[in-house]
Structure 1
Amino acid sequence: MVLVSLDEDGLKQVTVLPITHSPPGDPGAALELPAETKQRLGLDGLRSWIVLDEVNRFIWPGPDLVPRVRGDMSTVAYGYLPRALMLELRRRIGVLAKARRLRTVHRTE
Protein backbone atom coordinates (compact mmCIF):
# COMPACT_ATOMS: atom_id res chain seq x y z
CA MET A 1 0.00 0.00 0.00
CA VAL A 2 1.34 3.37 -0.90
CA LEU A 3 -1.25 5.78 0.47
CA VAL A 4 -4.46 5.81 2.52
CA SER A 5 -6.82 8.79 2.44
CA LEU A 6 -10.46 9.50 3.26
CA ASP A 7 -12.82 10.45 0.46
CA GLU A 8 -15.71 12.94 0.78
CA ASP A 9 -17.94 10.18 2.20
CA GLY A 10 -15.37 9.22 4.87
CA LEU A 11 -14.45 5.97 3.11
CA LYS A 12 -10.82 4.86 3.06
CA GLN A 13 -9.30 5.16 -0.39
CA VAL A 14 -6.07 3.23 -0.85
CA THR A 15 -3.46 3.64 -3.54
CA VAL A 16 -1.41 0.53 -4.25
CA LEU A 17 1.15 -0.70 -6.72
CA PRO A 18 0.04 -3.77 -8.67
CA ILE A 19 2.12 -6.95 -8.74
CA THR A 20 2.26 -9.12 -11.86
CA HIS A 21 3.84 -12.34 -13.06
CA SER A 22 4.29 -10.81 -16.54
CA PRO A 23 7.85 -9.64 -17.24
CA PRO A 24 7.89 -5.89 -17.87
CA GLY A 25 8.19 -4.52 -21.37
CA ASP A 26 10.08 -1.57 -19.88
CA PRO A 27 12.46 -2.72 -17.12
CA GLY A 28 12.51 0.84 -15.75
CA ALA A 29 8.77 0.66 -15.05
CA ALA A 30 8.89 -2.40 -12.79
CA LEU A 31 10.89 -3.85 -9.92
CA GLU A 32 11.25 -7.58 -9.38
CA LEU A 33 10.16 -8.86 -5.98
CA PRO A 34 12.98 -10.83 -4.37
CA ALA A 35 12.20 -14.55 -3.92
CA GLU A 36 12.93 -14.29 -0.18
CA THR A 37 10.39 -11.49 0.22
CA LYS A 38 7.74 -13.41 -1.73
CA GLN A 39 8.30 -16.48 0.43
CA ARG A 40 8.06 -14.47 3.68
CA LEU A 41 4.81 -12.88 2.49
CA GLY A 42 3.33 -16.26 1.58
CA LEU A 43 3.21 -15.57 -2.16
CA ASP A 44 3.83 -18.17 -4.87
CA GLY A 45 7.31 -19.11 -6.10
CA LEU A 46 6.94 -17.64 -9.59
CA ARG A 47 8.85 -14.51 -10.55
CA SER A 48 6.83 -11.34 -9.93
CA TRP A 49 7.29 -7.65 -10.59
CA ILE A 50 5.90 -4.58 -8.88
CA VAL A 51 4.49 -2.28 -11.55
CA LEU A 52 5.88 1.22 -10.95
CA ASP A 53 4.22 3.32 -13.64
CA GLU A 54 0.64 2.50 -12.60
CA VAL A 55 -1.11 2.85 -9.26
CA ASN A 56 -4.52 1.39 -8.44
CA ARG A 57 -7.01 3.29 -6.25
CA PHE A 58 -9.97 1.66 -4.55
CA ILE A 59 -12.11 1.69 -1.43
CA TRP A 60 -10.73 -0.31 1.53
CA PRO A 61 -11.99 -2.88 2.13
CA GLY A 62 -13.75 -3.53 -1.12
CA PRO A 63 -14.38 -5.92 -4.00
CA ASP A 64 -10.91 -5.34 -5.43
CA LEU A 65 -9.25 -7.20 -2.54
CA VAL A 66 -8.46 -10.90 -2.65
CA PRO A 67 -7.88 -12.48 0.79
CA ARG A 68 -5.32 -15.27 1.15
CA VAL A 69 -7.91 -17.19 3.18
CA ARG A 70 -11.26 -17.26 1.40
CA GLY A 71 -13.84 -15.13 3.24
CA ASP A 72 -11.34 -13.78 5.80
CA MET A 73 -10.80 -10.10 4.95
CA SER A 74 -8.16 -9.82 7.68
CA THR A 75 -5.83 -11.77 5.36
CA VAL A 76 -5.71 -9.17 2.56
CA ALA A 77 -2.61 -7.54 4.10
CA TYR A 78 0.36 -9.76 3.43
CA GLY A 79 3.02 -7.91 5.43
CA TYR A 80 5.81 -5.40 5.09
CA LEU A 81 8.43 -5.00 2.40
CA PRO A 82 12.08 -4.69 3.44
CA ARG A 83 13.25 -1.13 4.02
CA ALA A 84 15.79 -1.21 1.17
CA LEU A 85 13.12 -2.37 -1.28
CA MET A 86 10.71 0.36 -0.10
CA LEU A 87 13.39 3.03 -0.52
CA GLU A 88 14.15 1.80 -4.05
CA LEU A 89 10.41 1.78 -4.87
CA ARG A 90 10.05 5.37 -3.63
CA ARG A 91 13.07 6.54 -5.59
CA ARG A 92 11.97 4.91 -8.84
CA ILE A 93 8.34 6.04 -8.51
CA GLY A 94 9.61 9.58 -7.96
CA VAL A 95 11.59 9.42 -11.20
CA LEU A 96 8.54 8.16 -13.11
CA ALA A 97 6.26 10.78 -11.51
CA LYS A 98 8.65 13.61 -12.43
CA ALA A 99 8.69 12.30 -16.00
CA ARG A 100 4.86 12.24 -15.91
CA ARG A 101 4.87 8.49 -16.58
CA LEU A 102 2.74 7.55 -13.56
CA ARG A 103 -0.93 6.83 -14.16
CA THR A 104 -3.78 6.09 -11.77
CA VAL A 105 -6.38 3.39 -12.41
CA HIS A 106 -9.60 3.73 -10.36
CA ARG A 107 -10.75 0.21 -9.53
CA THR A 108 -13.85 0.82 -7.38
CA GLU A 109 -16.46 2.92 -9.13
Structure 2
Amino acid sequence: MPPSTPSGPPGRPTDPAAPNQPWPVPEPADVLHYAYLWSREHDSGHEEATKDRPVVVVIARIAQADLTELLVAPITHSPPRPGEGIELPQPIERRLGLDDARSLIVTTEMNRFVWPGPDIRPVPGEEAPLYGVIPAGLYEALRTEIVRNATANNMRMPKRSE
Protein backbone atom coordinates (compact mmCIF):
# COMPACT_ATOMS: atom_id res chain seq x y z
CA MET A 1 0.00 0.00 0.00
CA PRO A 2 1.57 3.34 -1.01
CA PRO A 3 1.97 6.02 1.68
CA SER A 4 -0.58 8.82 1.85
CA THR A 5 0.27 12.20 0.47
CA PRO A 6 0.00 15.26 2.73
CA SER A 7 -3.31 16.20 1.11
CA GLY A 8 -4.86 12.89 2.17
CA PRO A 9 -5.77 9.67 0.46
CA PRO A 10 -7.69 10.12 -2.80
CA GLY A 11 -11.42 9.69 -2.80
CA ARG A 12 -12.02 10.81 0.78
CA PRO A 13 -14.78 13.39 1.20
CA THR A 14 -14.16 16.90 2.38
CA ASP A 15 -16.03 18.21 5.38
CA PRO A 16 -19.60 19.12 4.27
CA ALA A 17 -19.75 21.78 7.01
CA ALA A 18 -16.81 23.58 5.41
CA PRO A 19 -17.30 23.34 1.62
CA ASN A 20 -14.37 25.71 0.94
CA GLN A 21 -12.10 23.60 3.15
CA PRO A 22 -9.86 21.48 0.91
CA TRP A 23 -8.88 19.08 3.67
CA PRO A 24 -10.60 15.71 3.86
CA VAL A 25 -12.41 14.68 7.01
CA PRO A 26 -9.85 12.64 9.01
CA GLU A 27 -10.31 8.97 9.75
CA PRO A 28 -8.95 6.77 12.54
CA ALA A 29 -5.20 6.16 12.15
CA ASP A 30 -4.59 9.47 10.34
CA VAL A 31 -1.71 11.52 11.72
CA LEU A 32 -2.44 15.27 11.85
CA HIS A 33 -0.53 18.41 12.84
CA TYR A 34 -2.37 19.95 15.79
CA ALA A 35 -1.95 22.35 18.72
CA TYR A 36 -2.28 19.68 21.42
CA LEU A 37 -3.23 20.84 24.93
CA TRP A 38 -1.62 18.56 27.52
CA SER A 39 -3.60 17.89 30.68
CA ARG A 40 -0.71 19.35 32.74
CA GLU A 41 -0.95 22.59 30.71
CA HIS A 42 -4.71 22.67 31.24
CA ASP A 43 -4.28 21.99 34.97
CA SER A 44 -1.95 25.00 35.25
CA GLY A 45 -4.58 27.29 33.68
CA HIS A 46 -3.67 27.19 29.99
CA GLU A 47 -6.48 27.13 27.44
CA GLU A 48 -4.15 27.04 24.45
CA ALA A 49 -1.36 24.61 23.64
CA THR A 50 2.24 25.73 23.91
CA LYS A 51 3.40 23.61 20.96
CA ASP A 52 2.03 22.14 17.74
CA ARG A 53 2.70 18.42 17.32
CA PRO A 54 1.66 15.34 15.41
CA VAL A 55 -1.37 13.48 16.79
CA VAL A 56 -3.08 10.23 15.82
CA VAL A 57 -6.83 10.23 15.20
CA VAL A 58 -8.23 7.57 17.53
CA ILE A 59 -11.93 8.18 16.90
CA ALA A 60 -13.74 10.17 14.21
CA ARG A 61 -17.50 10.19 14.70
CA ILE A 62 -20.41 12.17 13.36
CA ALA A 63 -21.51 14.36 16.28
CA GLN A 64 -24.37 15.95 14.33
CA ALA A 65 -25.46 15.78 10.72
CA ASP A 66 -22.70 18.13 9.56
CA LEU A 67 -20.13 17.92 12.40
CA THR A 68 -17.37 15.35 12.86
CA GLU A 69 -15.85 15.04 16.32
CA LEU A 70 -12.30 13.75 16.65
CA LEU A 71 -10.41 12.23 19.57
CA VAL A 72 -6.66 12.47 19.08
CA ALA A 73 -3.66 11.04 20.95
CA PRO A 74 -0.39 13.00 21.02
CA ILE A 75 2.95 11.89 19.63
CA THR A 76 5.91 12.94 21.77
CA HIS A 77 9.65 12.44 22.22
CA SER A 78 9.31 12.45 26.03
CA PRO A 79 8.93 8.89 27.24
CA PRO A 80 5.75 8.43 29.28
CA ARG A 81 5.62 6.08 32.26
CA PRO A 82 5.53 2.34 31.46
CA GLY A 83 2.15 1.32 30.03
CA GLU A 84 1.27 4.88 29.04
CA GLY A 85 2.61 4.94 25.48
CA ILE A 86 3.36 2.94 22.36
CA GLU A 87 6.57 3.41 20.42
CA LEU A 88 6.22 4.67 16.87
CA PRO A 89 8.59 2.44 14.84
CA GLN A 90 11.29 4.40 13.05
CA PRO A 91 10.31 3.25 9.51
CA ILE A 92 6.81 4.64 10.15
CA GLU A 93 8.26 7.88 11.55
CA ARG A 94 10.31 8.26 8.36
CA ARG A 95 7.34 7.51 6.10
CA LEU A 96 5.29 10.15 7.93
CA GLY A 97 8.11 12.69 7.55
CA LEU A 98 8.78 13.02 11.30
CA ASP A 99 12.28 13.60 12.67
CA ASP A 100 14.65 10.77 13.59
CA ALA A 101 14.27 11.10 17.37
CA ARG A 102 12.43 8.27 19.15
CA SER A 103 8.68 9.01 19.22
CA LEU A 104 5.86 7.54 21.29
CA ILE A 105 2.08 7.79 21.06
CA VAL A 106 0.64 8.61 24.48
CA THR A 107 -2.20 6.28 25.52
CA THR A 108 -3.35 8.02 28.72
CA GLU A 109 -4.66 11.32 27.42
CA MET A 110 -6.43 12.73 24.39
CA ASN A 111 -7.94 15.95 23.06
CA ARG A 112 -11.46 16.13 21.66
CA PHE A 113 -12.54 18.69 19.06
CA VAL A 114 -14.90 19.27 16.14
CA TRP A 115 -13.23 19.10 12.72
CA PRO A 116 -11.56 21.16 11.43
CA GLY A 117 -11.31 23.31 14.56
CA PRO A 118 -9.06 26.30 15.24
CA ASP A 119 -6.12 24.20 16.48
CA ILE A 120 -5.42 22.28 13.26
CA ARG A 121 -2.19 23.36 11.61
CA PRO A 122 -0.66 22.56 8.23
CA VAL A 123 2.27 20.15 8.39
CA PRO A 124 5.44 22.29 8.32
CA GLY A 125 6.33 22.99 4.69
CA GLU A 126 2.95 21.73 3.43
CA GLU A 127 -0.52 23.19 2.87
CA ALA A 128 -2.50 20.41 4.56
CA PRO A 129 -2.52 19.06 8.14
CA LEU A 130 -2.16 15.37 7.24
CA TYR A 131 1.22 13.63 7.69
CA GLY A 132 -0.17 10.27 6.60
CA VAL A 133 -1.64 7.14 8.16
CA ILE A 134 -0.24 4.64 10.67
CA PRO A 135 -0.57 0.94 9.76
CA ALA A 136 -3.67 -0.96 10.88
CA GLY A 137 -1.73 -3.20 13.29
CA LEU A 138 -0.21 -0.20 15.09
CA TYR A 139 -3.59 1.52 15.21
CA GLU A 140 -5.19 -1.59 16.76
CA ALA A 141 -2.41 -1.78 19.38
CA LEU A 142 -2.94 1.93 20.14
CA ARG A 143 -6.70 1.49 20.45
CA THR A 144 -6.26 -1.54 22.73
CA GLU A 145 -3.91 0.39 25.05
CA ILE A 146 -6.22 3.41 25.14
CA VAL A 147 -9.20 1.21 26.03
CA ARG A 148 -7.11 -0.54 28.70
CA ASN A 149 -6.07 2.79 30.23
CA ALA A 150 -9.60 4.22 30.04
CA THR A 151 -11.03 1.08 31.68
CA ALA A 152 -8.43 1.42 34.47
CA ASN A 153 -9.55 5.05 34.93
CA ASN A 154 -6.14 6.22 33.70
CA MET A 155 -7.28 8.61 30.96
CA ARG A 156 -7.18 12.42 30.87
CA MET A 157 -9.06 14.58 28.39
CA PRO A 158 -8.67 18.31 29.09
CA LYS A 159 -11.63 20.49 28.16
CA ARG A 160 -10.75 22.62 25.14
CA SER A 161 -12.33 25.98 24.42
CA GLU A 162 -13.77 26.13 20.91
Which of 153, 158, 161 is the matching residue for 1:100? 153
TM-score by length of 1: 0.82
Residue of structure 2 aligned with 1:45, choices 88, 94, 100: 100
Match of 2:113 in 1: 58
Q: How does 1:1-109 map to 2 (within 5 A)?
A: 1-7=57-63, 10-24=66-80, 26-69=81-124, 72=127, 75-109=128-162
Task: Decide whether the 8 Å contact of 1:17 with 1:55 is kept in 2.
Answer: yes
Q: Alpha-carbon deviations, 1:56-82, whole Å to 9, x = none?
A: 11222122122114572xx21222111
- CA drift of 1:5 comes to 2.9
Q: Which amino acid aligns with 2:74?
A: P
CA drift at 1:100: 1.1
The structure 1 segments of at least 4 consecutive aligned residues displaced by more than 6 Å after TM superposition are: none
Q: C-alpha distance in 2, partners of 1:88/1:5?
A: 20
Q: Which secondary structure state, in structure 1, belongs to the residue aligned with residue 86 of structure 2?
A: strand
Instruction: Report how many residues are paired.
Output: 106
**Structure with more of its chain in helix, by fraction:** 1
Deviating more after overlay: 6-15 vs 91-100? 6-15
Gaps of 5+ in 1: none
> Residues of 1 paired with 2:94 and 2:149: CA distance?
28
Say if 1:64 and 1:108, in contact at 8 Å, map to a contact too.
no
CA distance in 2, matches of 1:95, 1:7: 24
Q: Deviations over 1:13-58 (max 9, x none)?
A: 211001111111x120111111110100111111111110001112
Q: CA deviation at 1:11?
A: 3.1
